[in-house]
Amino acid sequence: MRSIHSVGIGFALLALGCSFGSDDEVEDTFLLEADADTDADSDSDTDSDSDSDADSDADSDADSDADSDADSDADSDADADPCEPTASEITYGSLSKSDVNFGTPTNNSGIGRLISNTPGTNESASVNIEITDAVVSAVASNGDFWIQDKNGGFRTFGLGDYGLTPGNKVTMTVTTIFNYYGLPEITEVSSISATSGSKVTFIDGTTNGVDISNLSEVVWAWGEITAKQGECGSGFDCFDYSYGSNVTTLRAETDDGLQIGDCVQVAGPVDQYDADPRYNAALNGYFVNTY
């Protein structure tokens, strides 16, 4: 069902029942009594034939109408998806349509080296990896940000707030990577600078679906809240989110006020937390909009 409220949060970045009435087939039975009077038999036959024809016509018309109505209703209902947004309802957080690409980035900023040097779960690795012009794909309210290139996505944690927005390009020297329960994070850098003016590339989750191979890449999707899992971290709730033919966990701020049945657009990175299976390829809703 469509919700009538709209909510945006700190990211600067879905069964219809149809019943078919079966046509009742009516069988007309005529009992003819023997009569010595030939005229009476003739009259009786004539009346019987006339009534039978009339009934047959009436049944035929009724059946035709019923079938036509039922088929028409069924086709119409099956094609409709109550959560598919109209063109005017589609939003991308703080970004306009002209700021967004869908698909896979084409630039190589060095993220592949970060991925290949990620240590084991809950371990830290000292590195010296230069990242050049990586596009910022998402920014959290505390300043943590995500970057992407053709090799994949990566997030930062605890670096501070550099005032970045999606579409900025960052150059930095990464000195420490930490693997937080299956989620690699840049936790220390020796230098960082930024420029502006690049488009942000989203994965179309509703069309393509997502899995753990999309870790830390930003997904845009529309769908429906189908169940509430409960609290998952201070100030956050987790939900079953149905989008396209997929169902995954959506983690959103409690203040968003999401309810079962809400139609929701999400733009956020794919998350992971090995200690809780709900987080396997979960969507981290840094931008959530109900419509």
C-alpha distances out from residue 184 to 79, 142, 193, Å: 41, 18, 21
Q: What is the average pLDDT value for the chain, to the nearest integer?
A: 79
pTM of the model: 0.72
CA distance linking residue 146 with residue 128, whole number of Å: 19
Range ranked top by mean pLDDT from 49-58, 110-119, 228-237, 249-258: 110-119
Tens digits of per-residue pLDDT, 183-215? 999 999 999 999 988 899 999 999 988 889 999
Which helix (H) or strand (E) segment holds residue 201: the answer is strand 200-204
C-alpha distances out from residue 290 to 7, 181, 216, 224, 261, Å: 6, 31, 23, 9, 10
Question: Which segment of 117-121, 147-151, 208-212, 254-258 scores lowest on mean pLDDT?
Answer: 208-212
**Taking Cα atoms as reference points, which of 126, 133, 84 lies closest to residue 105?**
133
Tens digits of per-residue pLDDT, 91-140? 987 788 999 999 999 999 999 999 999 999 999 999 999 999 999 999 99
Q: pLDDT band for position 79 (50/70/90)?
A: low
Q: pLDDT band for position 287 (50/70/90)?
A: confident
C-alpha distances out from residue 113 to 24, 85, 96, 163, 177, Å: 70, 39, 31, 25, 11
Percent composition of the chain: helix, strand, coil (DSSP 3-state, to 5): 25, 35, 40
CA distance linking residue 133 with residue 117, whole number of Å: 19
